[in-house]
Structure 1
Amino acid sequence: MTSRALENKPATNKRQAILDTALNLFVTQGFHGSSTAQIARQAGVATGTLFHHFSSKEMLLNELFLSIKQEFAEDILQVFQGLDLDTHPQRSLKASAQKLWNRAIDWAIANPIKQRFFLLYALSPELAVDVREQAMNSILGFISKLLTQGQAMGEIVTFPLGLMLDNCHGQYLASIRFFTDYPALGQDPLHREASFELFWRSIKA
């Protein structure tokens, strides 16, 4: 490891410690119930260090949302890349979408705290609109590609893409809310299949 990497490592660790602590506090105490002083103290850093990395608590929330959304996207992107829809356009779009859906549900079940964070803040007024747009259009841009391809193939309704993306997101949040309330059903094939069918019927042509 280079000397520059060694110099950067502590700052990276502090930043991640702040994000991890904020995640737990925002989920357990709420955004307004968690002060920056408390976050810094539990993260083991000075309050000034927190503000060095995040200019405000709102900025901390935004960055936390984006970092978790990036982690989520990287996980399900592995499935999307394996579908190779450009090379195999004849492959069932519905079957491909179902693989992505199941991977997304699996991620939520495997990451309960981050899942609860999404449920609490994905539609929260505390989260900046441009942050939501960045998460959906940049980080999750491959979802837009899948929808656009489905529309071109006549398998998905040709409604405005932005509205479609928000609808897909809402369907996903509704499903993980249900599986959060009834965790055993998250592994039940009947309920898992039904959750996807509800989603698919809302967007199919």
Structure 2
Amino acid sequence: MGKREQIVQAALELFCTEGFQATSTAKISKKAGVATGTLFIYFNSKQELINQLYLESKKEMSQMIHGELRDGLTPKEQLWRFWYCSVIWAIDNSLKFRFLNQFRTSAFISKLIKEEVDTLFEDFDILMRKYVDEGVFGDYSIEVVYTSYTGQFMEMIHYVLNSNTMTEDEEIAKFVTDSFQILWEGVAK
């Protein structure tokens, strides 16, 4: 792992465990095992580091989702593929998921980065808007569908990641499937 990756990993861990305010660049450098000034070779500031970490994490997630776009699937099948793929990514990348959740409404994420992130999910957005236009989600607006999808997804992942009772893969799979079914029944026509 190169120095940049060490810095990114250390920052990710510290932001998730100690929060933004308690995480100094010196702390990040120390945890990464690099000299304090090394961080500034790769990032001009802590805010730039946060923005890049946010963008890179969203890129990873979007690449996985884009890999699931398929022709010929029903809307339910396609949405399930997005849901399942996002769940796998979030569980496999739990620190990145927690980081994204922590900063998704933060003023630390620049407008430019937010706009770039929006372009990453443009194909998903186009497909969802097509489904809305076709009446797949009844009379619900795209905002209602997105809010329902995002809210249920975030809470479901938090539960899976923090649950002490769900230890078996089969339990998690059933929970994920049931959560999707509730979402679908709530928004589909």
TM-score (norm 1): 0.77
Deviation at 1:158, TM superposition (A): 5.9
Change in CA separation of 1:128 and 1:201 when aligned onto 2, cut-off 3 Å: farther
Amino acid aligned to 2:130:
Q
Question: Which of 39, 52, 69 lines up with 1:63 in the alignment?
Answer: 52
What stretches of structure 1 of length at least 5 have no aligned partner? Answer: 1-11
The aligned residue for residue 125 of structure 2 is 144
Match for residue 30 of structure 2 among 13, 38, 41? 41
Partner AA of 1:46 in structure 2: A
1:194 corresponds to: 178
Distance 1:203 1:31, change over 3 A: same
1:31 and 2:20 equivalent? yes
Could you tell which deviates more after superposition, 50-59 or 40-49?
A: 40-49
Q: Distance in 1 between matches of 2:81 and 2:128?
A: 15
Once the two structures are superposed, residues 132-166 of structure 1 have per-residue CA deviations (whole angstroms, 9 ceiling, x without a partner) of 4432x212222202202212322035655466545
How far is the alpha carbon of 1:185 from its aligned partner?
6.9
| Aligned pair partner of 2:167 in 166, 179, 184 | 184
Choose from 92, 99, 108 the match for 2:90: 108
Asked if the contact 1:23–1:114 (Cα under 8 Å) also holds between the matched residues in 2, the reply is yes
Seq. identity, %: 28
| Residue 105 of structure 1: how far off its partner (Å) | 0.9
Aligned-partner residue type, residue 25 of structure 2: T
The count of aligned residue pairs is 186
Displacement of 1:69: 1.2
